[in-house]
Amino acid sequence: MSHTVDVVILAAGKGTRMKSALPKVLQRLAGRPLLGHVLDTARGLAARRAVVVTGHGAEQVEAALPALAADLPWQAVRQQPQWGTGHAVQQAMPCLDDEGVTLVLSGDVPLTRPETLAALLSAQASAGPDALALLTVTMAEPHGYGRLVRGADGEVQRIVEEKDATDAERALTEVYSGILAAPTRRLRAWLSRLDNHNAQGEFYLTDVVRHAVADGVPVVAHRIDDALEVAGVNSPAQLAALERALQRRVADALLAQGVRLADPARLDVRGELVCGQDVEIDVNCVFEGRVELGDGVRIGAHCVIANARIEASAVIEPFTHIDGERSGVTVGAHARIGPFARLRPGTRLGPEVHIGNFVEVKNSTLAAGAKANHLAYLGDATVGERVNYGAGSITANYDGASKHRTVIEADVHVGSNCVLVAPVTLGAGGTIGAGSTVTKDTPPGALTVARAKPVTVPNWQRPRKAR
């Protein structure tokens, strides 16, 4: 693009039909607020800056902006009260330089592709330095949208809002998407001429078309086919429909890369899923944050995996929950996890580790070939190669004030139902007898049995329930 683009994002509206305490533009689509998707699009265009117009829920929206906008220069301006879309853009104008083009986007229209906007901007540029360009789409059911009114030669004359339209105008099917591009200097002048003499008593952004036409400036419509790209979110039903549509886009891209999805309609990616060759994903899996699946990885049905790296040929059996949060989780090559396993932040599993059903691992490192196959907890532990960790065993890593480490050296066998009271080190090759409560370090190669002495109370009467 030859010219500089500033993006104005309208995000002051109420979104009454969402019936949510969260402002509409912060409702999540694929795990990211709607406004985040729009800012991503602006970033994709290499915009000079984004000006976000806030109003309803302004504090919440502005608090979310630094994280959502990230490296894109941004500013927030408040529109109070909300007197319409034209009034909203007027609030942004003091932040914009005359030199440059303003692209107006809606904070609740998340699926516009940067390529589409780039095409709109080049349509604007090629129509002349003063031209106004509108993004339009033809809809069989245009109810609620502003209609594009064209003259006898097809030239754009104005946009009429549903509530102001005559029956003949309502029959028009080319609608305004809410997205336009105009030279900032011109837009400023047109906005200053807006009035609110219409059915809704609002300052309509769409009236700039009339002023541009009156000024003899070219007005061009860049018409697209995919209504999804300009679909707004006004209700939970629309949000859900866009969610499925976006997920389908993601699933189709994965299929095209060669990832075998058992059912592309039953996959949810709420972040970034990076897959190697020969990856297989069964139904109803949810991926969040950044997840990497190495070559030959198999993911069973009903897994939730967040912020994790699964290395080559590892198998994640059904109903496994992995959440690396900020510290991440790594699962080594050829490891086998689950079914029903839970891996928490800071878990680092080496190659060929086995974690079985109802095993929880947190902030622990397990070296190659270590196994914890049933009903166990490993927290803040360093586990050596080939360790076998028995059913029902736990690390008592927390004394109520601080967390302590457990070190289990290579080739240790921990029997069933052991309590390892940290800090403690189990020497290499040792065996811990079933039911032991280990409070002291154990020497390498030794058998340690540390059980409480049995207590027997003869003739003891079990308390009875009062009737």
For residues 293-332, which are near ligand UD1 according to CB under 6 A? none
The only residue of 55, 86, 232, 324 in contact with Mg ion, by rule CB under 5 A = 232
Q: How far is the CB of 121 from ligand UD1 (least distance, A)?
A: 19
CA dist 66 and 33 (Å) reads: 13
Instruction: Report what 53 binds from ligand UD1, Mg ion, none; CB cut-off 5-8 Å by kind.
Output: ligand UD1
Residue 422: partners with Cβ closer than 8 Å, 6 or more residues away:
380, 381, 395, 396, 397, 403, 404, 405, 406
268 binds, among ligand UD1, Mg ion, none (CB under 5 to 8 A by kind): none
Contact partner at residue 5 from ligand UD1, Mg ion, none, CB < 5 to 8 Å by partner kind: none
The token pair at 353 is 């580790």
Q: Give, as one character, the DSSP assignment of residue 418.
A: -
Q: In whole angstroms, what is the distance from residue 290 CA to residue 182 CA?
A: 37
Applying CB under 6 A, which part among 5-13, 30-38, 218-226, 373-381 lies near ligand UD1? 5-13
Listed ranges 9-17, 116-124, 246-254, 351-359: which one lies at the site for ligand UD1 (CB under 6 A) = 9-17
Q: Which stretch binds Mg ion (CB under 5 A): 186-194, 202-210, 224-232, 290-298?
A: 224-232
φ and ψ of 198, to 5 deg: -155, 180
Smallest gap from residue 324 Cβ to ligand UD1 (A): 34
Size of the site for Mg ion (CB under 5 A): 1
Q: Judged by CB under 5 A, does residue 107 bind Mg ion?
A: no
Site for ligand UD1 contains 206 (CB under 6 A):
yes
Task: Look at the block and give the residue holding tokens 């090559």.
Answer: 333
Tell whether residue 107 is a contact of ligand UD1 (CB under 6 A): yes
As a whole number of angstroms, the distance between CA 326 and CA 316 comes to 21
Nearer to ligand UD1, 146 or 332 (CB): 146
Stretch that binds ligand UD1, among 10-18, 113-121, 395-403, 419-427 (CB under 6 A): 10-18
User: Cβ atoms within 10 A of the Cβ of 338, count?
Assistant: 25
Q: How many chain residues are in contact with ligand UD1, going by CB under 6 A?
A: 28
Find, among 119, 93, 90, 126, the residue nearest to 218 by Cα.
Answer: 126
374 is catalytic: yes
Binding ligand UD1 by CB under 6 A: which of 10, 310, 381, 394? 10
190 binds, among ligand UD1, Mg ion, none (CB under 5 to 8 A by kind): none
Q: Shortest distance, CB of residue 401 to ligand UD1, whole angstroms?
A: 49
Q: Are 27 and 16 in contact (CB under 8 A)?
A: no
Q: Per residue in 209-233, is it b (16+ CB within 10 Å) or e — as a string? A: bbbbbeeebbbbbbebeebbbbbbb
Cβ within 8 Å of residue 31, ≥6 positions away = 270, 271, 288
166 and 49 in contact (C-beta within 8 Å)?
A: no
Q: Report the SS3 class of residue 431.
A: strand
Q: Which does 87 bind (CB under 5 to 8 A by kind): Mg ion, ligand UD1, none?
A: ligand UD1
- Based on the shown chain and the rule CB under 6 A, indicate whether residue 259 belongs to the binding site for ligand UD1: no
377 counts as binding ligand UD1 under rule CB under 6 A: no
Name which position in 204, 287, 377, 389 contacts ligand UD1 (CB under 6 A).
204
Token digits for 453? 């002495």
Return the number of the residue (170 or 451) whose C-beta is nearest ligand UD1. 170
Report the alpha-carbon distance of residue 278 to residue 270 in Å, rounded: 22
Q: Are 69 and 75 in contact (CB under 8 A)?
A: no
Closest residue to Mg ion using C-beta atoms: 232
Catalytic residues: 374
Which residues sit at the interface with Mg ion, rule CB under 5 A?
Answer: 232
Which residues sit at the interface with ligand UD1, rule CB under 6 A?
Answer: 10-13, 53, 55, 79, 82-85, 87-88, 106-108, 145-146, 159, 161, 175-178, 204-206, 232
